[in-house]
Amino acid sequence: MESKNSDTEGAPLIPTTPGNEFPSQLRRAIAVVLVAALSFVEGVSMSLPGPFFPPRATDHGISQTQIGIVSGSCDVANLCFSFIIGSLISPSNKKAVFLTGTFISSAALVLFGLLDYVIDDRIYFVLCILTRIVNGVGVSMVYAMMILIPSTCFPQKAALMNSFIQTIFGVGMFCGPVFGSILIPIGGYETPFISLGIMEAVLSVLGIIIIPAFPADKKTEKKIKNSKPIGYLHLLVRFSTISILLPTGVVFLFSGFRDTAYVLHYQEVTGLAANIVGILFVANSLTAAITGFVVGVLTQKGYAISVMILAHVLTPLTTFAMFVPYFLPKIETRGWAVLILVMNGISVDAAVNPSYLLLQKAAIRNGERNIDQVRKFASSSFMIIFCSGRIVGAAIVGGYLNELVGFYFTSLIYTMVAIVTVTWHIVFLVKSGFIGKVYFDTEEDIAEDIASDN
């Protein structure tokens, strides 16, 4: 069904203007594979510091709260820069934004690994924050384009592209702890960071050659320029948007909490070495890698809401499982830790695709009629809540609150908050009529949404 109000109706995502012929299917396929490879590296870089940085930081005299600040600083920069990226993205600069972000991210990774040679603990702490901030800037640029570029190459297979990239990203997260556990004993703490940074830089150079440019023709630019998209902040503060973002942020909060508090707590309780704990954390990443594709397929088939509810229900169950050893200390075994990490892997992965989809629906229901603007809003808003959740989880919950009341009672508080937000989210979905089959963001789906909402 065609939308009469879409300002980009009929405009090809890769237009065929003179000197800019439509890239061949082979080149577009190779470009998607390259983007997937870079998303794999980003996944590795996200999960790599979790099991290894906190123990190393304590050797430099860094406190639990300071570890949370360092872990959260990357996401703070990612969050702040996401607002800028949301307004800067255009059909003509997707490639430039993406590759600039990968170069920045690769340099920050190398520098972060080399910081282990800094002797002064105060300088070490400050430099850790600075390098993570720089990395956050690069990551925000990469994440914003990671899905948009493949869906631009194959616009009629947007859902499939999203599932593919999310799965590869999950595989990267799976490999992060393994990568560190193998390379750190061989070459030292800095080895995996330097190796990963060099790998990303090489792939970025290849991207300059392989990824096609996406300039819009003058007619398309005029249409977008003459359209009157709803203000970004106006969409962001609507009740429907907040009812999606805040409960979802509570799900993503676990990642920051896990990386700053759970890894140290588990080491302290079990006495296991950091590389052994890192191998246990593979359970989390492996689950994310497996469920990423499954969630993508279910979302494409219209079951996004059921998947989203699963994510919200699993979160309080997971955090309560972390509290149970307070009464039953003997239950805190390796098997119990793997169970917690598997449950978390499922819940976080189950929230990614559906939340992106629901944010698109919210933008349309609140009056946005430009398909390009709908996608930009969903992408940047998702990154905002993803980063916000990790920031709160790392700096406030895993850092300050954990030091204040202890790990077990922090888990209990988190459980109660998650119960409240999951209830809020389910009530919102029911009252908004989202219960049932809800489909993903192909051009036709968005056009039908816009038409039906008129």
| Surface-to-core class of residue 278, CB atoms within 10 Å of its CB (0-12 exposed, 13-18 middle, 19+ buried) | buried
Give 135's Cβ-side CA count (13 Å radius).
29
Helix/strand/coil for 237? coil
pLDDT for position 76: 75
- When pLDDT is cut at 50, 70 and 90, the band that residue 78 belongs to is confident
pLDDT for position 15: 39
- Say how many Å lie between the first and final Cα of the chain, rounded: 13
Domain spans, the chain: 25-453
Per DSSP, the residues of 359-390 read: HHHHHHHTT---HHHHHHHHHHHHHHHHHHHH
Residues 6 or more apart from 71 whose CB is under 8 A from it?
Answer: 49, 53, 132, 256, 259, 260, 390, 394, 395, 398
- When pLDDT is cut at 50, 70 and 90, the band that residue 26 belongs to is confident
Helix/strand/coil for 20? strand
Instruction: Decide: 383 and 78 in contact? Cβ < 8 Å.
Output: yes
pLDDT for position 449: 56
Determine the Cα–Cα distance for residues 395 and 410; give it in Å rounded to an integer. 13
Determine the Cα–Cα distance for residues 132 and 444; give it in Å rounded to an integer. 40
- Tens digits of per-residue pLDDT, 379-430? 777 777 877 787 788 778 887 888 888 889 999 999 999 999 989 988 888 8
pLDDT for position 316: 92
- Tens digits of per-residue pLDDT, 310-365? 888 889 999 999 899 888 888 888 888 888 888 887 887 777 778 877 888 888 87
CATH (one of 1.20.1250.20, 1.10.3210.10, 1.10.4160.10, 3.90.1150.10) for 25-453: 1.20.1250.20
Residue recorded with tokens 């192909």: 442
Residues 6 or more apart from 195 whose CB is under 8 A from it?
Answer: 183
- Tens digits of per-residue pLDDT, 113-171? 888 787 777 888 888 888 888 888 887 777 777 777 777 777 666 666 766 777 777 67
Q: To which H or E segment does residue 391 belong?
A: helix 371-391
Between residues 255 and 221, the one the model is more confident about:
255
445 pLDDT exceeds 70? no
